[in-house]
Amino acid sequence: EVQLVESGGGLVKPGESLRLSCAASEFTFSNAWMTWVRQTPGRGLEWVGRITSKTNGETTGYAAPVKGRFTISRDDSKNILYLQMSSLRSDDTGMYYCVRGLPGHWDDAFEIWGQGTMVTVSS
Amino acid sequence: QSALTQPASVSGSPGQSITISCTGTSSDVGRFNYVSWYQQHPGEAPKLMIYEVSNRPSGISNRFSGSKSGNTASLTISGLQAEDEGDYYCSAYTGSTTLVVFGGGTKVTVL
């Protein structure tokens, strides 16, 4: 079964850092463009950022609220996607989902979702 | 505040049809035919129901259909069933720095 499993969430203080991981299985991870989406009570679903495949240059893109603070990377040898978050703020609090799009619709049709990992930023 | 506007709630009786609207701008919904719809049940991750305005992924019932006119996209659920209750979100690909924007979600209630 195609699966994404996130880990690494938790409670951190404002200004601290956290790294999320997403383990992929049962599909060719190296070919996939991968996305992080978060869900917060106040803003609903929010696109966080994306990384293309190595073949496509591992190009990253980020939403304005996280640009410069969050970094997406991937380890194709381990089938793992990462989200490094720094200078965390209270409005970063939410459920973070690792997502894979439909092949050919990597950026616009999010077919496979992980179960999510909760990030809470509070003093 | 979400980029795309959806009604907060829509309800219908079993067997009826309901339509959820998703209004954006010429920079998102109106720019490309890359509108998707997601269903989310409590405690679960969203599930892709419609992509590219009107296409259904494998395994999605043909009771779900999508359309778009200008800057407004719509999701119609026909033959409403109890299992259709949940939250529904639209999204649109923008091609800009923020690649994808979402709607605020619509709570569907089956009466």
Query: What tens digit of pLDDT does each residue of A9-34 get?
Result: 999 999 999 999 999 999 999 999 99
Count of other CB atoms within 10 angstroms of residue B62: 8
Question: Among candidates A87, A114, A90, which has minimal Cα distance to A18?
Answer: A87
pLDDT of residue B2: 73
Tell whether A9 lies on the interface with B, counting CB pairs under 8 A.
no
Degrees to nearest 5, angle at CA A102 with B24 and A66: 55
- CA A35/CA A106 separation, integer angstroms: 8
**Which residues on chain A are in Cβ contact (under 8 Å) with B91?**
45, 47, 108, 110
In this complex, the residue of B46, B103, B104 whose CB is nearest that of residue A113 is B46
Residue A37, pLDDT > 90, answer yes
Give pLDDT tens digits for B70-79.
999 999 999 9
Residue A41, pLDDT > 90, answer no
**Is B93 in Cβ contact with A108 (below 8 Å)?**
yes
Residue B3, pLDDT > 90, answer no
Give the gyration radius of chain B's Cα atoms.
13
Question: Among candidates A123, A99, A80, A112, which has minimal Cα distance to A38?
Answer: A99
Q: Is the dihedral of CA A72, A74, B101, B104 positive or negative?
A: negative
- CA B107/CA B73 separation, integer angstroms: 17
Over chain A, what is the mean pLDDT? 97
Chain A nearest C-alpha distance from B66 (Å): 14
**Is B47 in Cβ contact with A105 (below 8 Å)?**
no
Give pLDDT tens digits for B28-66.
999 999 999 999 999 999 999 999 999 999 999 999 999
**Which residues on chain B are in Cβ contact (under 8 Å) with A64?**
97-98
pLDDT of residue A42: 80
**Which residues on chain A are in Cβ contact (under 8 Å) with B98?**
47, 63-64
